[in-house]
Amino acid sequence: MLKGSIVAIITPFKNGKLDEEAYISLIHYHLKNGTSGIVPAGTTGESPTLTHEEHKKVIELCVKECNGKIPVIAGTGSNSTEEAISLTKFAEQAGANAALVVTPYYNKPTQEGLYQHYKSINDKTNIPIIIYNIPPRSVVDMSIDTMARLFELQNIVGVKDATADLNRVIEQKKKMGEEFIQLSGEDGTALEFNLKGGKGCISVTANVAPKLCAEFQEASLAKNNDNLLSKAKEINNKLMPLHNSLFIESSPSPVKYAASLLKLCLDEVRLPLVTVTESTKEKVKSAMKQADLI
């Protein structure tokens, strides 16, 4: 099952190009520190500015380096249905365990348009598909009824929910049941999300705090265990300043700076993103210290 601390992995760059050496090191960093799954080429991986060749390369490398040890959920979304189909087919052929497909941005499709978009991907591939519902960035919100229709299809298995509406977890569980995998898209509310029926988080913070995020998820997903719940709350409080600091400016610029403090990679991003300001650097650095990461 896809659950626990799943990292939306950053894509390291060096002099404008994919830094394969740093990327491979990052993957092994997660394998060593308890991460439950990896999402390559997601939006945290700067998929909008990756070339198609780079997009495919980061998926291929992730599948190869993980080597079946943990699931790879490849980011394959696009606001072009044909492009999303093509990328999802590639991820399937490369050996990814699942695909993360964002709701089409900018086009503002209707609920029927959303349904047909995902149905087309479902019908032309044979890989588990996670819907990525993120209204703040895609401008459309998939309704629970549309999600339920999609869950009837063979390959649609769950959602990465970044609506910031925790009541949706309960309503989606009522409509689709326990088998529908609900993953949080927000580190800051992941505890409440899990307590209401979620199975984990596709995390930005896990890029720089993989062990803590893994321990937090394990504790928060434990059923009826007060000691573990107390541990989850303690870790959550420790990480909260970091969760907040990583979104002061457009992600993934802050988390790339945080990664650079750990010497995991450079803080280089691609335009139209820019590296973070000095004031943000200080806040990120302070939050990293509070979490005992530096």
**In this predicted model, what pLDDT tens digit does every residue of 234-286 receive, in sequence order?**
999 999 999 999 999 999 999 999 999 999 999 999 999 999 999 999 999 99
* Residue 177 token pair: 């049941």
Residue 293, in any domain of the structure: no
Q: Which amino acid is at 108?
A: K
pLDDT at 91 over 90: yes
> Measuring CA to CA, which residue among 28, 37, 23, 34 is closest to residue 73?
37
Percent residues over pLDDT 70 in the chain: 100
Residue 292, in any domain of the structure: no
pTM: 0.97
Q: So what's the pLDDT on residue 145?
A: 98
Tally of structural domains, the chain:
1
pLDDT at 1 over 90: no
Tell me the CATH number at 85.
Answer: 3.20.20.70
Confidence at 224, pLDDT banded by 50, 70, 90: confident
pLDDT at 109 over 80: yes
> Measuring CA to CA, which residue among 50, 26, 53, 48 is closest to residue 38?
26
Residue 267, in any domain of the structure: no
Q: So what's the pLDDT on residue 178?
A: 94
- 100 neighbors 77 (Cβ within 8 angstroms): yes
What is the average pLDDT score of the chain?
97
Residue 149, in any domain of the structure: yes
List the Cα angle 41/55/129 in 5-degree steps: 50
159 strand-pairing partners: 131, 182
Average pLDDT over residues 51-63: 98
Residue 286, in any domain of the structure: no
> Measuring CA to CA, which residue among 199, 202, 165, 194 is closest to residue 182?
199
> Which positions are catalytic?
132, 160
Confidence at 154, pLDDT banded by 50, 70, 90: very high
Q: So what's the pLDDT on residue 82?
A: 98
Residue 38, in any domain of the structure: yes
Confidence at 167, pLDDT banded by 50, 70, 90: very high
Q: Tell me the per-residue pLDDT of 7-28, one tens digit each, with 9 for 90 and over.
A: 999 999 999 999 999 999 999 9
pLDDT at 223 over 80: no
How many Cβ atoms are within 10 Å of 67's Cβ, its own excluded? 11
Residue 190, in any domain of the structure: yes
- 69 neighbors 31 (Cβ within 8 angstroms): yes
- 157 neighbors 128 (Cβ within 8 angstroms): yes
Domain that holds residue 47: 4-228
DSSP-based three-state secondary structure for 99: strand
* Beta strands, E only, 204-266: none
Residue 163, in any domain of the structure: yes
